[in-house]
């Protein structure tokens, strides 16, 4: 499990990408082939768990929000290290950490990927320059496919509509931009929103807090961690 203290991380697998901002952790199963990239200078902590203790833990990658208790358990576990007796207080603390992981709330920081070559051409281009005002017609010209074909591929391979996937990608890019110090207004216009207010409404609906509140919480967590 990779826990982000500052900066921002992406975990990429064949299924898609998980963005992990500060105050979150990305759970990666031991058998999952994955690539970790950092979109800015970052600080993180890694927790490794023995394979025989994974029974009740997630079977797939996921991003979870670190509750205050789990955060403290992780920091304490790192200080303890590997040198402790099996019947000790330290061992009980490690067991509590393991039991707490599957109880944490998953966060909506996953963007799936498809396999069709036309779809991959579109999503690759969108990762480089996503805008909420670029339609399927625009991306159809990039992929050499009709809007109807692309719409069908998004539903079939992503399990969601094009507009839902596009908004999710905009959200993930917005988080990365805000964490890098971009203003809310600049982030909104870069992503193609007609106003900062429209962008803020999208962000608040998805994250249950405004961009300003999100950044304030991140700064508090950064100080604690």
Q: Which residues contact 173 (CB under 8 A, 6 or more apart)?
A: 130, 191
- Strands 110-112 and 16-20, how do they pair? antiparallel
Q: Is the model more confident about 35 or about 186?
A: 186
Judged against a pLDDT cut of 60, whether residue 12 lies above it is answered with yes
Q: Is the model more confident about 14 or about 27?
A: 27
b/e map 33-62, b = 16+ CB within 10 Å: ebeeeebeebebbebeeeeeeeeeebeebb
- What's the confidence (pLDDT) of residue 153? 95
- What's the confidence (pLDDT) of residue 224? 40
CA 29, 127, 132, 65 torsion-angle sign: positive
Give the confidence band of 105 by pLDDT, cuts at 50, 70, 90. confident
Q: Which residues contact 206 (CB under 8 A, 6 or more apart)?
A: 108, 167, 171
Instruction: List residues bridging with 2 in a β-sheet.
Output: 26, 46
Judged against a pLDDT cut of 60, whether residue 222 lies above it is answered with no
* pLDDT per residue as tens digits for the range 40-98: 778 888 888 888 888 888 888 999 988 889 988 988 988 888 888 888 988 899 999 99
Domains and CATH numbers, the chain: 2-103 (2.60.120.280), 113-224 (1.10.10.60)
Give the confidence band of 220 by pLDDT, cuts at 50, 70, 90. very low
Judged against a pLDDT cut of 90, whether residue 3 lies above it is answered with no
Answering whether pTM is above 0.75, one says yes
């Amino acid at each position: 499990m990779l826990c982000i203290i500052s900066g921002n991380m992406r975990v990429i697998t064949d299924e898609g990408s998980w963005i992990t901002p500060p105050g979150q952790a990305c759970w990666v199963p031991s058998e999952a082939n994955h690539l970790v990239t950092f979109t800015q200078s970052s600080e993180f902590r890694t927790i490794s768990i023995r394979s025989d203790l994974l029974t009740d833990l997630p079977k797939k990658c996921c991003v979870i929000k670190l509750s205050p208790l789990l955060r403290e358990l992780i920091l304490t576990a790192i200080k303890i290290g590997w040198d402790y007796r099996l019947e000790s207080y330290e061992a009980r603390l490690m067991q509590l950490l393991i039991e707490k992981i599957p109880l944490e709330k998953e966060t909506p920081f996953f963007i799936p990927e498809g396999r069709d070559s036309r779809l991959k051409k579109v999503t690759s281009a969108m990762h480089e320059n996503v805008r909420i005002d670029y339609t399927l017609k625009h991306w159809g010209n990039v992929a050499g496919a009709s809007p109807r074909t692309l719409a069908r591929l998004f539903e079939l391979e992503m399990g969601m509509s094009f507009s839902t996937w596009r908004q999710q990608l905009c959200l993930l890019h917005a988080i990365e931009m805000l964490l890098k110090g971009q203003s809310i207004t600049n982030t909104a216009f870069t992503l193609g929103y007609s106003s900062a207010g429209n962008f803020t409404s999208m962000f608040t609906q998805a994250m249950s807090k405004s961009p300003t509140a999100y950044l304030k919480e991140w700064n508090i967590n950064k100080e604690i961690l």
